[in-house]
Structures are given as C-alpha cells and as structure tokens.
Amino acid sequence: MAGERDRAEGTVDEMKGKVKEKTGELTNDDELRARGKGEQLKGKGEKAAGHVKDAGEKVKEAAKDMLDD
C-alpha cells in the first residue's frame, strides 16, 4: 500500500531514537537523550503519515467502486 514505506522508515527512526535515548541515559548525556526522543517522535509521525496515506487509498478505491456501479 501507499504508506508502507513511511511506516517502515518510521519504525527504523523510532528504533534509532530508542538506542540514542538509552545511550544518553547510560552516559548521562542529556543532549543525546533528547535527540533520541526527538527521533522517536519523528518516527511516530512518519508511521502516522503512512496510515493516513493508506486510509486515503482506501477512500479513493471505495469512491471509485461506487462510481463504477
């Protein structure tokens, strides 16, 4: 579907962010911890965008089916 790539990229960014956040916690690096949290939010946004794209595709297909009938 249309949003698959966005969701996959979002998952990768979330995972990278979690690693950065944990590394920041272990090294007492507040900046790294904050960057990790920011990257996690970016990932969540990308995943949400992927879901929106998929929903839009479903609406488009349903409208097309209604018009074809």
Note the pLDDT of residue 26.
98
DSSP H or E segment with residue 27: none
Where exactly are the structural domains of the chain?
Answer: 4-68
Tens place of pLDDT per residue across the chain (69 aa): 778 999 999 999 999 999 999 999 999 999 999 999 999 999 999 999 999 999 999 998 988 888 887
**CB-based contacts of 23, cutoff 8 Å, min separation 6:** 29, 32, 36
pTM, entire model: 0.81
Note the pLDDT of residue 66.
86
Inter-residue contact 46 to 5 (CB < 8 Å):
no
